Structure 1
């Protein structure tokens, strides 16, 4: 499979199965588009009104060489690897600890219903969190590096338990030859110097929630009485980012139908001094007033193109920043298993409620159909676990012929379920945006290669 696209002046050809990327001239671009279904004579006949025949012939020869070298029109070598997915031993490597089902903000798009997750407000006890870490160690097999995200609601509302669990985890590392990679996701309201000092010592990554420009952030991320959060959190986030040398953190925002000009929010965050930025599309039902609509797509595509071009410009001026959705590894990248099956929700990655229940990920919490067990008794719903094991790009009809499948790994199972009632479909609007982001990311790599 070959995917061709033009972006910011570059003609780009992606060989999907090998991952090879070619930046070509116009004649080669047009030759490749005809190559598989037309003879040499037919290609020349179709293109000779636009290009000299000698250039067309040279482009055909170049395309033939790329195919012979295994860099173009390659066969899919991955599909045969999916058959043993269900047989793979289940090794849990990551937990999302819902340390607090409560929040001090009332974000309008929050899937967690202000931290309640369709249930009750609650804080995780130390005993439950300790058992969750014990569960992770016991089910991690030979894997040494384990990941734990302190999540909410707002986890800093239960910060004492966070500190206790980190201390317990550090003790267990020595006993079991493990290493915990702790992360923290916070809205910043309760952030202070003591918490920053602790985070810089113990947290491998910190996610700081902010949507961008003041008017955008405060519209969607207010306090419960309506006041905005921007003025309170920005100085704290700037201080934390600098204290971490602009590394090992993200400012993470959400854009909605109200700010389809979201590239301005990304650049606003960059102009505030942040170097690690993620601004993602809201996922909402079409009936929500802030939901992105299909008619928004052309505008959103243009915004990603503009953002990518501006990032190239700033990089050349020595004022670069990272945008999470444009970060792509064209040489190494994830292993075959990750390419095919994605985040590992329901198998390698589980969410833990404040009372110890296990769910496939944080977005399924509160839906009893996806209750998998608990941290004391382990995973009991093994049928559901097997269903998630078999959730891969070849189990999704929409993914099988999509050029992006080895980059997005089939997309989010929760989004698929919420829009189609099954984890083996795909969230269509999200797919279109993902494909655009991948094209922009590849274009940026092409621009970097020129320097």
Structure 2
């Protein structure tokens, strides 16, 4: 049995009583490129199975077996007793098999309290020039309480935030700042000054500072595009597709569609920003679920390098929420694009469907998450007033404040947030094989839907399992048929 995400050193042998009962560990079996694979839940690791290992797991599929019976069964299949014992021992070591009396596998360890900060999301304004009907910040399910607070971040607050990041980064040699809003470019003057300041401060401390931003693209100009390209600032554009879909919910203050406004600006951005990939982020809502058509338009017609999709965050009662039948259609179209991703990978080509790319990246890293994301751990959000939050989605929400730039992190509040968000604290996740990659799902989604940031996103469980299985099959097929692609993919994503 060959592990594709690492190597294992076997401990010294110990005699195993013949009557010791063995069962299968927590795992998910799948097949790709005519090869059997297993995803080991407690390790977050993928293994290719040889015929002998597959035979052992098959024998234990319905009931436990005694160690002696397992060895005998392998012997009857032609394996020498020593080889059979070695195989069982190896399978037990990686917890593909569990012997009676084995201690339960521990939950993924939580990051240490002094985990160094890696990224800040600076909400440099809470103002927006659009009125998208599903907006989590200003819409029906908003949790922000911006009344009486600054609408635009000041240079002093921004510089203090940069200093805070560099101080909290510890020995890290690289950190990241994402500019966010509202509409980020409504405070472009500040953004420009912050980039210059962060570069100077980072250089003085021997730390590289990277930058990205999210925008609705309505305020892009030639000057801004040139600045973004010259400073290697990554750009994510919030956009929902061709005109009929973009204009359905992404509207201005007068209810007018925005496609005609952003289309020429986007073409200039994609043509002239040559230092970083330009990504589109699509929010799927009722009536905006034609995934393949959206992808074709954004990737092929407009030229985005990558396109990612996510269902709208909602409490479950909004008219823009996706119905179950629509979600089924969404998943079918995800599978269509996933098949394309695989075909490209087998030819050694990159594909722009980021929903696959992100999961493949996590599989390559052997992700076994304690929390769904870096919120409150390596990442924090900063509001225009300087309040700290777990991430940008909690900005300006008083009930989710984790401190202030001037006074630092409120460790008691952060510890409470992280303890509730730990995958080990989510009862429903304990029996789910996909938890190493999911860890229960987005904290913000959980709060909006269930009123608790530590609640598992149960409404997406089946969807997540299906999608994870699809990505595992892609990973297995590429590892078997074009493993060099995965090496290049990891290098491109900065995982090597």
C-alpha deviation, 1:254, in angstroms: 0.9
Which deviates the most, 236-245 or 254-263? 236-245
Q: Is the 8 A contact 2:372 2:443 kept in 1?
A: no
Could you tell me how far apart the structure 1 residues matched to 2:290 and 2:95 are? Answer: 36
C-alpha deviation, 1:185, in angstroms: 0.7
- Residue of structure 1 in register with 2:159 after alignment: 130
Could you tell me how far apart the structure 2 residues matched to 1:193 and 1:203 are? Answer: 15
Q: Is the 8 A contact 2:33 2:477 kept in 1?
A: no
The reply on whether 1:329 has 2:352 as its aligned counterpart is no
| 1:129-168 alignment, distance < 5 Å | 129-168=158-197
The reply on whether 1:199 has 2:228 as its aligned counterpart is yes
C-alpha deviation, 1:64, in angstroms: 9.3
Could you tell me how far apart the structure 2 residues matched to 1:8 and 1:304 are? Answer: 20
- Residue of structure 2 in register with 1:176 after alignment: 205
Structure-2 change in CA distance of 1:334 and 1:447 (3 Å): closer
Which deviates the most, 15-24 or 163-172? 15-24
Q: 2:335 aligns with which of 301, 305, 308?
A: 305
C-alpha deviation, 1:331, in angstroms: 6.2
C-alpha deviation, 1:9, in angstroms: 9.4
Could you tell me how far apart the structure 1 residues matched to 2:248 and 2:58 are? Answer: 46
Could you tell me how far apart the structure 2 residues matched to 1:434 and 1:440 are? Answer: 10
The reply on whether 1:105 has 2:134 as its aligned counterpart is no
Q: Is the 8 A contact 1:189 1:233 kept in 2?
A: yes
TM (normalized to structure 2)?
A: 0.76
Which deviates the most, 215-224 or 88-97? 88-97
| 1:12-411 alignment, distance < 5 Å | 13-21=38-46, 32=57, 35-38=60-63, 68-70=89-91, 73=96, 79=106, 82=109, 85=111, 88-113=113-138, 117-120=144-147, 122-245=151-274, 247-272=276-301, 273-314=303-344, 320-327=350-357, 328-329=360-361, 332-333=364-365, 339-379=369-409, 381-390=410-419, 391-411=421-441
Q: Is the 8 A contact 1:101 1:122 kept in 2?
A: yes
C-alpha deviation, 1:374, in angstroms: 1.3
Segments of 5+ residues of structure 2 without an aligned counterpart are 1-25, 67-73, 483-496
Segments of 5+ residues of structure 1 without an aligned counterpart are 42-53
Give deviations 1:427-448, integer Å, cap 9, x for gaps.
1223333333322222222343
Give deviations 1:104-151, integer Å, cap 9, x for gaps.
111111111179944247111111111111222222222232211100
| Secondary structure in 2 matching 1:252 | strand
- Residue of structure 2 in register with 1:45 after alignment: none
Equivalent residue pairs, number: 433
- Residue of structure 2 in register with 1:428 after alignment: 458
C-alpha deviation, 1:26, in angstroms: 12
Structure-2 change in CA distance of 1:330 and 1:188 (3 Å): closer
C-alpha deviation, 1:66, in angstroms: 6.6
- Residue of structure 2 in register with 1:443 after alignment: 473
Could you tell me how far apart the structure 1 residues matched to 2:465 and 2:126 are? Answer: 34
Structure-2 change in CA distance of 1:72 and 1:348 (3 Å): closer
| Secondary structure in 2 matching 1:302 | helix
C-alpha deviation, 1:19, in angstroms: 4.0
Could you tell me how far apart the structure 1 residues matched to 2:267 and 2:448 are? Answer: 35
Structure-2 change in CA distance of 1:27 and 1:322 (3 Å): farther
| Secondary structure in 2 matching 1:439 | helix
Could you tell me how far apart the structure 1 residues matched to 2:87 and 2:257 are? Answer: 56
Could you tell me how far apart the structure 2 residues matched to 1:66 and 1:298 are? Answer: 41
C-alpha deviation, 1:386, in angstroms: 0.8
Structure-2 change in CA distance of 1:197 and 1:401 (3 Å): same
- Residue of structure 1 in register with 2:29 after alignment: 4
TM (normalized to structure 1)?
A: 0.83
C-alpha deviation, 1:7, in angstroms: 8.5
Give deviations 1:349-404, integer Å, cap 9, x for gaps.
2111111111122222233221222111222x322111133232212112222222
Q: Is the 8 A contact 1:11 1:29 kept in 2?
A: yes
Give deviations 1:15-52, integer Å, cap 9, x for gaps.
223444467899998984662433789xxxxxxxxxxx
Q: CA RMSD in A?
A: 3.6
